[in-house]
Structure 1
């Protein structure tokens, strides 16, 4: 095991964590502001990936693909908020779960009907293709570094939006006392639609960026959704800072665990058994992390008790 390998896997963990942050940021905003459990958030991730792949395949422009992903996912989010979600705010969480699970099925079959059952592929833009040399003689894909940079820029933009703008004030107020801001004249329905569309756009952006690394296919959002829920539980529901820290912790834990736990077990176990034990424990590591955080802070790292 070399130092360059460790550094490379740390970068992989950061890239994975940044993608989880884009998913979890929208999810934690929606849950924190609206009190809504949205299982269809992974479907919006899938919509963004398919919109990007289709637009990039049609125009040959990766940038236009990203624009299509943002616009398509935001439009889909605003539409389902207006048509379906708006009727669920006053309902029990079980009703929200059932309704948004139905949306998963609708989105999956609708996507299959529009794009077909075969995976689509989104090529890495030529300007970001190939590796880049880093200090220490490390060669790392430029596109993955670009993903980290984009994710950090989006995080900075979200911190500015939530903390420094009038819209952010309304979002934070809506999280704390939605009845009061409605009484003060804020259009709560329009605010909810904006927050839902913003969360959907972030999920769509994540899907588009990941689509250039893996294939774009129906159902690709559900595994990521599970990890996003883990992230917001660790970070604290409604906290953008918590979503960022939780996503980085989950990304690093999952990536480093899958690589280095088998190596650790090989020190005192047979190679085949060590590989199996390491793979099993690495898949459990993020849930062990979540359990440890909840024992220490039941509201999450940056969650508020309420």
Structure 2
């Protein structure tokens, strides 16, 4: 096993972590401000991917598709918040789970009705095709490096938004005491719609970026949603910093586990068994990691102080 291959897998883990951050950041914003468990967040990921693929196919431009993914996911998020979610804030979490699970079924079938059951394919734009040399480790796919860069830029932008703007001040106040900011004259309904649309846009962006690496199909958001929930539990519910560190940790542990465990087990087991056993253990690693972190830090690594 070469150093170049090891570093390549580390970068793959970082790219997965950045994608999970885009999902988890919106999810933790929505839960932190609204106290809402949104199982339909994965469907917004899917909507972003389908919007990007459809617009890119119609116009021939990946960049127009990327813009469409943001607009479509944000618009869908705002519509869902105004029409359905707004009625759930005063209800208990079980009602929220049932309602947003129903949204998964509705959005999945609606997407299947619009685009059919066959997957769509989204090409990497020519500007981002190919690989770039990395000092001492060979080459790495340019598009994956761009995904990492985009995730880091979004993380910095979210930090500035939350820490340095009036909207961020209201979001932080809403996390701490929503009744008080409503009494001070802040339109809490509009704030909730903006936060929900922002979280949806981040999910749509993640879907569009990942859509060029895999097929775009109905139900593609649900596996990512499970990982996003693991990320926010590890990082701390309501914490953007926790979402970033938790996502990178989950991405690297998952990728390196699937890469290294079969190779390590091959040293003591037959090749026919090491792959299957290593893959099975690797699929559990992030949940084992979550259990260990919660055993010592029950509120996560960077729990938001409310």
TM-score bracket, shorter-length normalisation: over 0.9
2:58 maps to 58
Is the 8 Å Cα contact of residues 78 and 196 (structure 1) preserved in structure 2? Answer: yes
1:262 maps to 262
1:135 maps to 135
Q: Give aligned pairs, total.
A: 306
Q: Quote the RMSD (CA, aligned, Å).
A: 0.8
Displacement after TM superposition at 1:275 (Å): 1.1
1:227 maps to 227
Q: How does 1:199-238 map to 2 (within 5 A)?
A: 199-238=199-238
Distance 1:209 1:56 in 2: 12
Distance 1:279 1:106 in 2: 33
Distance 1:283 1:221 in 2: 18
For residues 165-216 of structure 1, the C-alpha deviation after alignment (integer angstroms, 9 at most, x for no partner) is: 0100000000010000000000000000000000000000000000000000
Distance 1:139 1:179 in 2: 54
Tell me which stretches of 4 or more aligned residues in structure 1 moved more than 3 Å: none
1:38 maps to 38
1:170 maps to 170
2:195 maps to 195
* SS of equivalent residue, structure 2 residue 132: strand
Q: How does 1:75-154 map to 2 (within 5 A)?
A: 75-154=75-154
Distance 1:164 1:305 in 2: 18
Normalization by structure 1: what TM-score? Answer: 0.99
* SS of equivalent residue, structure 1 residue 139: strand
* SS of equivalent residue, structure 2 residue 156: helix
Q: Work out whether 1:20 is the aligned partner of 2:34.
A: no
Q: Which moved more, 1:41-50 or 1:295-304?
A: 295-304
Distance 1:302 1:165 in 2: 22
Is the 8 Å Cα contact of residues 122 and 215 (structure 2) preserved in structure 1? Answer: yes
* SS of equivalent residue, structure 1 residue 132: strand
1:9 maps to 9
Normalization by structure 2: what TM-score? Answer: 0.99
Displacement after TM superposition at 1:137 (Å): 4.1
Distance 2:284 2:119 in 1: 29
Distance 1:95 1:40 in 2: 13
For residues 41-98 of structure 1, the C-alpha deviation after alignment (integer angstroms, 9 at most, x for no partner) is: 0000000000000000011111101100000000000000000000000001000000
Displacement after TM superposition at 1:276 (Å): 1.5
Is the 8 Å Cα contact of residues 26 and 199 (structure 1) preserved in structure 2? Answer: yes
Displacement after TM superposition at 1:305 (Å): 6.2
Is the 8 Å Cα contact of residues 299 and 305 (structure 1) preserved in structure 2? Answer: no
Distance 1:45 1:192 in 2: 19
Distance 1:303 1:96 in 2: 22
Distance 2:86 2:234 in 1: 28
Distance 2:138 2:285 in 1: 27
Distance 1:26 1:298 in 2: 22
Distance 1:205 1:253 in 2: 23
Distance 1:201 1:88 in 2: 21
Displacement after TM superposition at 1:269 (Å): 1.3
Q: Which runs of 5+ in 1 are unaligned?
A: none
Q: How does 1:263-302 map to 2 (within 5 A)?
A: 263-302=263-302
Distance 1:305 1:82 in 2: 28
Distance 1:107 1:143 in 2: 29
